[in-house]
């Protein structure tokens, strides 16, 4: 963390610039090869020096709770009360947002959150990941990626954190994740993701997940926004008085995950709900054919809690079914 100073520097990201004590918002053009997209970015440059925090939402374009919550916080924070700086990308995957696309960027049919740190000469998602990695994540002291269940997913609220091996950096990640105050905390890497890219750079990295199913009810937006404010307070970027909204919770720690995917096309009939506790070997659902015959009976590979669950009847080969987290 930088030492305190009366005259912090300007905050600049790809031509967008904020003076100390100023909030600036604008659209930043990113060249993806065959198309130029515009990312809505908010810069908040505090009146005193401190940590630089990068925050993204909408890495998956239909994760609306995260987008609404980040916009609410970024446009309401008083720059005069900020110590350090905030770089907020309100909708990080605009093509997916416009297309209401589940999981994938329609420009190349790739999952943006599986191609980090990206490739500046690669496909559209790889170029976008490389731009975000170089211009948003790099140079930060803390990175927060806000998510929720996709259009076809329900989930129980949880945070995730990445480990870097640096004791001080990992302590900051844990402090921020605990402050977010969601039901569960999952610790572990996710190759190709934003948070793993940040951790690889030695940057504290935290994920927040609240809500889903293509909805953004006030209750969920308030929980996500309040969690983000508490996280910024924990990082020393906002004063304690900014930690308003629904109270946080003491998270249950999970250190293992199992993601289940379908190996056939068909009709998904889950036998569990989000938040259910299951045992290893327990039936959790079936993929059936058009006439109702079972094509695949799905069992839990480990015991634990159902973190997220696909809620659409339609199921494609390779698509997620659900995820289980275990202590």
For residue 199, CA distances in Å to 49, 60, 123, 302 come to 23, 20, 23, 27
How would you list the strands of the sheet with 314-315, edge to edge? Answer: 294-299, 283-288, 266-270, 314-315
Name the residue range of residue 27's domain.
11-253
Same domain membership, residue 203 and residue 128: yes
Print pLDDT tens along the chain (327 aa): 443 345 579 999 999 999 999 999 999 999 999 899 999 999 999 999 999 999 999 999 999 999 999 999 999 999 999 999 999 999 999 999 999 999 999 999 999 999 999 999 999 999 999 999 999 999 999 999 999 999 999 999 999 999 999 999 999 999 999 999 999 999 999 999 999 999 999 999 999 999 999 999 999 999 999 999 999 999 999 999 888 889 899 999 999 999 999 999 999 999 999 999 999 999 999 999 999 999 999 999 999 999 999 999 999 999 999 999 999
Contact predicate 134/87, CB 8 Å: no
Cβ neighbours for 297, distance < 8 A, ≥ 6 positions apart: 283, 286
Contact predicate 308/322, CB 8 Å: yes
Phi and psi angles of residue 312, each rounded to the nearest 5 degrees, phi first: -85, 145
Structural domains in the chain (count): 2
Q: Is residue 1 part of a domain?
A: no
State the Cα–Cα distance between residues 100 and 83, nearest whole angstrom: 36
Contact predicate 229/183, CB 8 Å: no
Q: Is residue 2 part of a domain?
A: no
State the Cα–Cα distance between residues 304 and 318, nearest whole angstrom: 23
Same domain membership, residue 220 and residue 173: yes
- Report which of 115, 113, 99 is spatially closest to residue 35, judged by C-alpha positions: 99
Identify the domain boundary among 231, 253, 275. 253
Same domain membership, residue 241 and residue 316: no
Q: Is residue 155 part of a domain?
A: yes
Which CATH number belongs to the domain containing residue 211 in this structure?
A: 3.40.630.10
Cβ neighbours for 271, distance < 8 A, ≥ 6 positions apart: 283, 284, 285, 286
């Amino acid at each position: 963390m930088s030492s305190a100073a009366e005259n912090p520097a300007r905050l600049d990201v790809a031509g967008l610039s904020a003076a100390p004590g100023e909030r600036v918002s604008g659209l930043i053009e990113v060249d993806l090869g065959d198309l130029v997209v515009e990312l809505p970015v908010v810069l908040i440059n505090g009146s005193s020096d401190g940590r630089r925090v990068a925050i993204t939402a909408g890495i998956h374009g239909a994760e609306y709770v995260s987008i609404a919550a980040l916009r609410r916080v970024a446009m309401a924070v008083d720059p005069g009360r900020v110590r350090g700086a905030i770089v907020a990308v309100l909708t990080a995957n605009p093509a997916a947002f416009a297309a209401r696309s589940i999981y994938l960027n329609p420009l190349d049919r790739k999952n943006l959150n599986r191609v980090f740190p990206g490739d500046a000469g690669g496909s559209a998602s790889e170029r976008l990941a490389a731009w975000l990695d170089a211009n948003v994540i790099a140079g930060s002291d803390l990175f927060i990626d806000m998510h929720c269940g996709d259009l076809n997913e329900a989930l129980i609220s949880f945070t995730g954190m990445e480990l870097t091996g640096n004791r001080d950096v990992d302590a900051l990640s844990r402090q921020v994740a605990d402050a977010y105050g969601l039901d569960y905390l999952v610790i572990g890497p996710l190759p190709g993701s934003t948070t793993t890219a940040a951790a690889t750079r030695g940057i504290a990295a935290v994920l927040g997940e609240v809500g889903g199913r293509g909805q953004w009810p006030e209750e969920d937006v308030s929980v996500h926004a309040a969690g983000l404010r508490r996280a910024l307070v924990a990082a020393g970027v906002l004063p304690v008085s900014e930690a308003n909204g629904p109270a946080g919770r003491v998270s249950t720690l999970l250190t293992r995950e199992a993601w289940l995917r379908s190996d056939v096309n068909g009709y998904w009939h889950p036998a569990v709900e989000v938040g259910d506790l299951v045992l290893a070997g327990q039936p959790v659902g079936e993929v059936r054919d058009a006439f109702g015959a079972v094509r695949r009976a799905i069992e839990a590979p480990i015991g634990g809690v159902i973190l997220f669950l696909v809620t659409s009847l339609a199921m494609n080969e390779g698509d997620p079914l659900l995820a289980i987290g275990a202590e």
